[in-house]
Amino acid sequence: MAERNFEVSRLPGFATTAIIVFIILYLPIITLMVYSFNGGASIALWEGFSLRWYEIAWNNDAVKSATMRSLTIAAAASVISTVLASMAALGTTRRDKFKGQTVIYVLINQPLMVPEIVTAVALLIFFAAVKVATGYQGLGYLIAAHSAFCIPFAYLPIRARLEGMDLTLEVAASDLYASSWQTFTNVTLPLLMPGVLAGAMLAFVISLDDVIITEFVKSGGQDTLPTYMLGQLRRAITPEVNAISTALLGLTVVMLTAFFLLTRKKN
C-alpha cells in the first residue's frame, strides 16, 4: 500500500479556517471600497451608487497638493534609495568575503529592525537642530528620511538578483575586451535591471504608505496623503476618505503586481 504523505489540507477544519482568515483579511478592505461609491454622506449607511466622493476628492485642493507631495517624495526617495541600495548590494556581493560582513548587513537593514517610532522621534530631534542651524524648511527633510528607511526594501531584491547572477558572465565580458566600466554597463547593469526596478517599486510603495516618520518630520503644510487622511479622521468622516484609500490601494496593487512580475521573470 502506498504511503500517504502528510498534507495540511487534509486536516479537519482546514477549509473553514482558511475561509475565515481570508474574510478577516479582506472584508474590511472590501467594505471600504464599496462605501467609496456611496451616494450618501455616511460610511456605514448605503444610499445608492455614485462617483460623487471621487469627484469631491479629485476637486479638493488639499487632497491634490497632498497627493502631489506624496508622489514627489516617493519618487525622489525611491530613486535615491535604489541608487544607494544598488551600490551597497554591489559592494557587499561583488568581492571576497570580508570581516564584519554580517555587521554591514545589519547596518544596512537597520530600518527594518529599529522600531519606527524611535527613528521618528530621533529624526524629529535631529532635524529640529538642523532647521535651526540652516533655516531650511523644505521637503528635503522628508525626502531624506524616506530615502533612509526605503534603503533595505530596495537593497533586498537587488542583492537577491546579484547573488543569483552567474559571475562567469562578468569574467566572459572581461575576456572579450570589456573594461571594468564596460562590463558594468553592458553586462552587470542590464542583468541587474529587474532587481533594480523591483527595488525601486517596493521603495516607492513603502514611501507612499508611511505615516509615523512623516508625521514627526513634516513641517506645517507638508501633509502627505496618509497624514492628510489621518488629520481628516479627527473631524467628520465622509466616504471621501474611502475614495482616496481605494485609489491609493489601486495604485499600490498595480505597483506590487509589477514588482511580482519583475522578480518572477528571472526564472
Partner 1 sequence: MTERAAVTAESVYKVFGQGAHAVHALENVSLSIQQGEFFTLLGPSGCGKTTLLRLIAGFEMPSGGHILLDGQDVTDLPPNKRPVNTVFQSYALFPHLSVRQNVGFALKMQGRPKAEIDGRTEQMMALVKLESMADRKVAQLSGGQQQRVALARALAPQPKVLLLDEPLSALDLKLRKEMQVELKRLQTETGITFVFVTHDQEEALTMSDRIGVMSAGKLQQVASPRDIYTAPVNRFVANFIGETNLLPVTAAKGGYQLGCGVIVSADGNGSTLSIRPEQIRVADSKAKGAIEARVTNLVYFGTDVHAHLELGDGAKMVARLPLPPGGDTGLMRGSNICVDFVPGAARLIGE
- Which residues are near partner 1 by CB under 8 A? 166, 168-169, 171-179, 182, 186-187, 190-191
Q: What is the 3-state secondary structure (H, E, C) of 53-106?
A: HHHHHHHCHHHHHHHHHHHHHHHHHHHHHHHHHHHHHHHHHCCCCCCCHHHHHH
Residue 49 DSSP one-character state: B
CB count within 10 Å of CB 60 equals: 15
Quickly list H helices, 94-211. 101-108, 110-113, 116-134, 140-163, 167-175, 180-183, 189-209
**Between 88 and 173, CB nearer to partner 1:** 173
**Between 140 and 190, CB nearer to partner 1:** 190
CB count within 10 Å of CB 76 equals: 18
Distance CA 43, CA 100 (A): 54
> Considering the complex, what minimum distance in angstroms separates the CB of residue 203 from partner 1?
24
Give the CA distances from residue 2 to residues 5, 7, 263, in Å, rounded to whole numbers and listed in that order: 9, 15, 38
> Considering the complex, what minimum distance in angstroms separates the CB of residue 96 from partner 1?
12
> Considering the complex, what minimum distance in angstroms separates the CB of residue 90 from partner 1?
18
**Between 6 and 181, CB nearer to partner 1:** 181
**Between 114 and 176, CB nearer to partner 1:** 176
**Between 188 and 227, CB nearer to partner 1:** 188
**Between 7 and 96, CB nearer to partner 1:** 96
The burial of 69, by beta-carbon neighbours within 10 Å (0-12 exposed, 13-18 middle, 19 or more buried), is given as buried
> Considering the complex, what minimum distance in angstroms separates the CB of residue 160 from partner 1?
17
Length of the chain: 267
**Between 186 and 232, CB nearer to partner 1:** 186
49, β-bridge pairs: 38
1's grid cell: 500500500
> Considering the complex, what minimum distance in angstroms separates the CB of residue 6 from partner 1?
37
Distance CA 75, CA 55 (A): 25
47's grid cell: 444610499
> Considering the complex, what minimum distance in angstroms separates the CB of residue 183 from partner 1?
8
> Considering the complex, what minimum distance in angstroms separates the CB of residue 170 from partner 1?
9
